[in-house]
Structure 1
Amino acid sequence: MQSLPVDLLVEVLLGLYLGLLTGIVPAFVAGSLGFLVRYFTGVTLPGFGVVVLALSIASVQGGLLGLVEPTITQSPRLLVAVLVVLMLALYAHNQGDKLGSELPRRLSLTRLRQRTLSADVVELVGSVGQVSVRPTGEIRDMEGYPPLSADLRRDLKAGSWRLPADIPLSELESRLEERLRTDHDLADVDVAIDQRGRATIVAAPPSGALSRRVPTGQRAVSVTTLVPTGLARGDDVTVRDGDRSIAGTVLSARTAVDDEHTASAVPDESAADVATDGGDAASAMADAKPSAATAGGQGRVTIAVARRDVSAVLEAESPRLVVRSRGTSREFEAFALVKREGYAIHRFTVGATGPDDETSELDDPASAADVTILAVRRQGSETGGRRHGWVFGPGIERRLEPGDEAFVAGPERVTEAFVEEIAR
């Protein structure tokens, strides 16, 4: 009489063991069918069907086991094993059905690259959303290039860049890469931004910065002369020596006043004693990027001139530097004329729903027709999520698609309504 509880406990444990052993295959089949039916049809597989299917599969395994041990059908372990098999099958079916309902129906690499930032990190500046992108982790060296200097690595680590928040992450990465190349003269850079606005940066140090700025077919020549105040890289100048004038483009400029400012970056002797990894203390304290414009005075200027003019510039005894005018910016003149006529220009990204036939049917269809698409930039899968160049004046035959970036112009009220309708 006292051995009955022990025998019952043994039967329950054996039932659990047999149920787990036998229920693996029915649970896998039930979970797979639940996922496939829900994903492709949107209908949940009935629980009764799952029970019948699980018992049918388990009966095959149990029948084979019964041939070996016929007495199993009269023992309590069979009931426990059946209950375990049914619970495993129903649980797997429930998880497969949930996965089928949550997984996106249309998943592509282009769609993944169009992910945007989380709403928690977006800052509203007026009516425009912006995000402050900051680096996360260490600034890694790019394979195949020399390692970054300590100063450049520190500047990148402490950097923060404000970018628009209403564009895909792939476009944010492209813009940040271009800004880093411009600000730090990097030879190459690769940036990955997550939905929290954190950037992982892999960069290569500047390599041959001067030679990369010399146009093809020209040569870089340095002259000592009186440098105009405000002269900066990219200015068009003319070197005059007597009756001869030679046109060129400024690549770099340095004056004595600039050197004094650099030396004043070391506040005292204790700071000057700081050990560096090469060069003097003054150059270590200076910024990695040279100042945008010179302070003027006597100094040296490196300019790019045609190959035939190199000897004439080097032989000049007292060269004079004259800065040539570039004229008025035609882009600002065009915007001023558009503004003067009461029109507005908006830049936006087409929303996920895209435009439809009723997009232009606003409060006044005749006024909506006044909205003109000036330029469109499309994102294609063949370029790995990168955007193509701008297409100007696309015309009505180029239909806007979700993810397109466009400039439109028209009456201010109608244009604002048009942008709100398409960008939603």
Structure 2
Amino acid sequence: MTLPVEILLGVYLGLLTGIVPALVAGSLGFLVRYFSGVTLPGFGVVVLALSIASVQGGLLGLVEPSIAQSPRLLVAVLVVLMLALYAHNQGDKLGAELPRRLSLTALRQRTLSADVVELVGTVGQVTIRPTGEIRDMEGYPPLPAALRQTLKTGSWKLPADLPLSELEVRLAERLRTDHDLADVDVSIDEQGRATIVAAPPSGSLSRRVPAGTRAVSIETLVPTGLARGDEVVVRTVERSIRGTVLSVRTAADAEDTAAGDGDDPVSGETTLPDSGTESPVEVPVRRSGASPGGIGRVTIAVARRDVDPLLAADRPRLVVRSRGTNREFEAFALAKRAGYAIRRITVGADGASADPRSAANVTVVAVRRQGSETGGRRHGWVFGPGIERSLGAGDEAFVAGPETLVEEFAEATGR
């Protein structure tokens, strides 16, 4: 045969007989490096590979004795050695990179794939979306259809620099808080897809009743816009009773419920039918809805002593209390609108001799002094003009005036 044919046959025989030596060399290289941290010498790999290949070559020689006298033998030996050395190198590298202590805890510290991370400024975040159906948790009633659809179409943004285990905990806590779920289990994969197993809410009305109060339902004329959390006064013939609205349901809400899924659009509750069939008591569908008004039923949290008078009332009237206006925010808004700034400063040692009366365009609104005669303890705040003496070291003050002048005064006196 010609030389090219002999070379091709040698490569073929080398590949055929080099598979087993390569597997053995790679396995030994990995095991030795992983357990002892030592690299198996290349000379030992060569001797081992030739020993294994000689057995196979001897078997081939029994079938074809002419192979031993042909150039193809040398080519086959070179191919076997290259395969064995390459496999040993890869096994040694794998043994060096594989963690020595592999536990379930380490496996759980997986992170998200870089493809799903969204950069918002310099902070990475990921949008978690459910995958598949929202499954019911064993031992609990099935989820209502509206709540199941809400969870299935929902999405949640979370920090992307957290391991998957922490993302699962945060998403479960958010679902439990947002939807009043009795229990929830979340599993998130590297692509940001969540598998959710949830249990419907149970007893959420009792959780909304403040300590020391009782929930009482009355039928009355409901003001338009009344919603959960409003402070109201129930006026009866004999007295007025204050309380907090826990849920509202009117005739208009009942019409919406009949046309929908049976959910209370204001309080987020589902009312049990008269037949007594078992179903979840409450389903948080819409939390911030306001009542359209009209004749309806309102559940109010009142003090214990007011329960009996409220239940005995014939025709109670409902009056919504004003929460008032924060005058402090109005004052700050007016000062800012006029181009003034208000800043709190602490007088340092260098500004101890500063006299607020010397700055005509800067007004000290309030001051709290720290006197040496009281052992360094601070007195209460003194508001308004008429400050008797200069500011001392350690005094705190609120100053107002044009922004540039206030900044200069703060730099001169503050620390």
Which of the five TM-score ranges fits, normalised by the shorter chain? Answer: 0.5 to 0.7
Instruction: Say whether 1:315 aligns with 2:280.
Output: no
Change (3 A) 1:189 1:332: farther
Spell out, residue by residue over 1:117-165, the C-alpha distance to the aligned partner (whole angstroms, 9 max, x if none). 63554154x7765543321122222222222233332232222334455
How far, CA to CA, are the matches of 1:127 and 1:26 in structure 2?
Answer: 48
How far, CA to CA, are the matches of 2:305 and 2:123 in structure 1?
Answer: 52
Change (3 A) 1:231 1:21: same
2:45 aligns with 54
Over the matched positions of the two proteins, sequence identity in percent amounts to 60
Deviation, structure 1 residue 290: 5.8
Change (3 A) 1:164 1:102: same
1:115 aligns with 111
Spell out, residue by residue over 1:193-212, the C-alpha distance to the aligned partner (whole angstroms, 9 max, x if none). 33433222111122333344
Deviation, structure 1 residue 190: 2.1
Instruction: Say whether 1:201 aligns with 2:192.
Output: no
**Residues 123-138 of structure 1 correspond to what in structure 2 (within 5 A)?**
124=120, 130-138=125-133
Deviation, structure 1 residue 220: 2.7
1:26 aligns with 25
Change (3 A) 1:141 1:78: farther
TM-score normalized with structure 1 length = 0.54
Instruction: Say whether 1:156 aligns with 2:155.
Output: no
2:223 aligns with 228
> Is contact 1:27–1:54 with CA below 8 Å preserved after alignment?
no
Letter paired with 2:25: P
> Is contact 1:50–1:89 with CA below 8 Å preserved after alignment?
no
> Is contact 2:181–2:200 with CA below 8 Å preserved after alignment?
yes
Paired residue total: 311
Deviation, structure 1 residue 19: 5.4
Change (3 A) 1:57 1:246: farther
Please identify, of 189-198 and 52-61, the stretch whose mean Cα deviation from structure 2 is larger.
52-61
> Is contact 1:237–1:250 with CA below 8 Å preserved after alignment?
yes
How far, CA to CA, are the matches of 1:326 and 1:230 in structure 2?
Answer: 15
Instruction: Say whether 1:302 aligns with 2:293.
Output: no
Q: Which runs of 5+ in 1 are unaligned?
A: 267-277, 280-285, 344-424
1:405 aligns with none
2:236 aligns with 241
How far, CA to CA, are the matches of 2:119 and 2:248 in structure 1?
Answer: 39
> Is contact 1:135–1:157 with CA below 8 Å preserved after alignment?
yes
How far, CA to CA, are the matches of 1:295 and 1:186 in structure 2?
Answer: 27
> Is contact 2:245–2:301 with CA below 8 Å preserved after alignment?
yes
Change (3 A) 1:62 1:98: closer
> Is contact 1:26–1:85 with CA below 8 Å preserved after alignment?
no
Instruction: Say whether 1:259 aligns with 2:254.
Output: yes
SS in 1 for 2:300: strand
How far, CA to CA, are the matches of 2:123 and 2:168 in structure 1?
Answer: 19
RMSD of aligned Cα (Å): 5.4
How far, CA to CA, are the matches of 1:117 and 1:342 in structure 2?
Answer: 46
> Is contact 2:22–2:84 with CA below 8 Å preserved after alignment?
yes
Change (3 A) 1:204 1:264: closer
How far, CA to CA, are the matches of 2:325 and 2:83 in structure 1?
Answer: 77
SS in 2 for 1:230: coil
**Residues 17-416 of structure 1 correspond to what in structure 2 (within 5 A)?**
20=19, 24-34=23-33, 45=39, 50-57=41-48, 76=68, 86-99=81-94, 109=105, 113=109, 115-116=111-112, 118=114, 120-122=116-118, 124=120, 130-165=125-160, 169-215=164-210, 218-262=213-257, 288-289=285-286, 292-324=289-321
